[in-house]
Amino acid sequence: MTVPERVVVAPPGPGGCGDYATNIALQLAGAAGQPPLRVAEILRSRLADEPSVTDVVVTGPGFLNLSLEGTASAGLVDEILRRGRRYGHAAGFSGNIVQLRCPAEVRAVVVADALARVLRSQGDSVRIRYDGRPAPEWESLLGVEVKDSAGPHALADLDVTVRPVPAPADPLALGRDAARWALLHPAAHDRPRITGEHLVQRESNPLFRVRYAHARTRALVRNAADLGFEAQPGPCTRVTRHRCSPRSVTTPRARHRRRSPHPDRLARHLVTVADATLPLLPAVLPLGEEKPSAAHRARLALAEAAGTVLAGGLSLLGIDAPEHL
């Protein structure tokens, strides 16, 4: 049987579970002359014996979904809690000077501002040059710097033009946070929606879900303190049909890394983190007469780490992360 030269292992897609998923069984099925599900079951039994694998689930036509456990998960949570909102940030100057150029249009100015924040978090020196004069109220109402920060002959290692599809309407009536989200969440080639939907306090609003998930994690930390226990990174036991997995709610470093600096990708990743976090939260605190255990402390650490990632990501977008909603 021919072994594929390349095996793709990635975070699970819709309908998947665990930490990672792979379609290797589907790749092997043809050469093996067996149905993909049969190949997947054989691989599942072998992988389940690996000490670092805590669970293997077969989904769909034969996808293998793996849940991992070990010191790396606890170490990741511990790193996030130690670094706080600086998690994922570079320690110092990267040596790169980046110049961003954009038209004096409200969406382009906000996108350039958010992009500058992300690049600076990675140690880059960033200057912004505007083609025209931005409206002065954008500085006070949207939190952007409207002064051209690049000199007439500024030298840069990288010169980037920021020109997203313009906003169809003035977003200022939405307020700073909702306006920035409305302009940053869609991909640059998509037309943003400047409507009151960004202000509604319900699950249909992605910004609300992100901020609500963060506020819930902060409330759990306060409630745990009232019960006399604190977060302590460690392995999480299964709490529902969803596995309590640090990787599912905290990586990949909230998309802060240079390989994906676009603000819209960061915004969408925060929604993914929030949606992965919310189902875990009901099992964080002890119920009834139950005493706080190591599992409760580990779940609290995971929840706090997820909240930290959400707050840090929102900060890079120039959006507030309130502790109470």
Helix axes 206-227, 263-277, angle to 10 degrees: 50
Residue 264 lies in a domain: no
What is the residue-averaged pLDDT of the chain? 86
**H or E element that contains 133:** none
Residue 117 lies in a domain: no
* Domain carrying residue 47: 9-68
Tokens (6 digits) for 285? 């605190």
pLDDT at 73: 67
pLDDT at 71: 43
User: Of the candidates 208, 211, 185, which has an alpha carbon nearest to the alpha carbon of residue 311?
Assistant: 211
- Label residues 246-271 b or e (16+ Cβ within 10 Å = b): bbbbbbebbbbeeeebbbbebbbbbb
Calculated CA dihedral for residues 74, 77, 80, 84, nearest 10 degrees: -120
State the CATH number of the domain containing residue 47. 3.30.1360.70
Residue 38 lies in a domain: yes
pLDDT at 11: 74
Residue 52 lies in a domain: yes
**H or E element that contains 264:** helix 263-277
pLDDT at 279: 87
pLDDT for residue 155 is more than 50: yes
Residue 252, preceding bond cis, omega within 30 degrees? yes
Residue 21 lies in a domain: yes
Average pLDDT over residues 233-239: 61
Answer for the pair 268, 175: CB distance below 8 angstroms, yes or no: no
Phi-psi region for residue 30, left (φ > 0), alpha (ψ -120 to 50) or beta?
alpha
pLDDT for residue 225 is more than 90: yes
Pairing outcome for strands 9-10 and 20-22: antiparallel
The CA-based angle 201-206-210, given to 5 degrees, is 85
**Does pTM top 0.95 for this prediction?**
no
pLDDT at 241: 37
Residue 130 lies in a domain: no
Residue 31 lies in a domain: yes
Tokens (6 digits) for 126? 């960033």
Strand partners, 101: 129, 161
Tally of domains in the chain: 1
Residue 80 lies in a domain: no
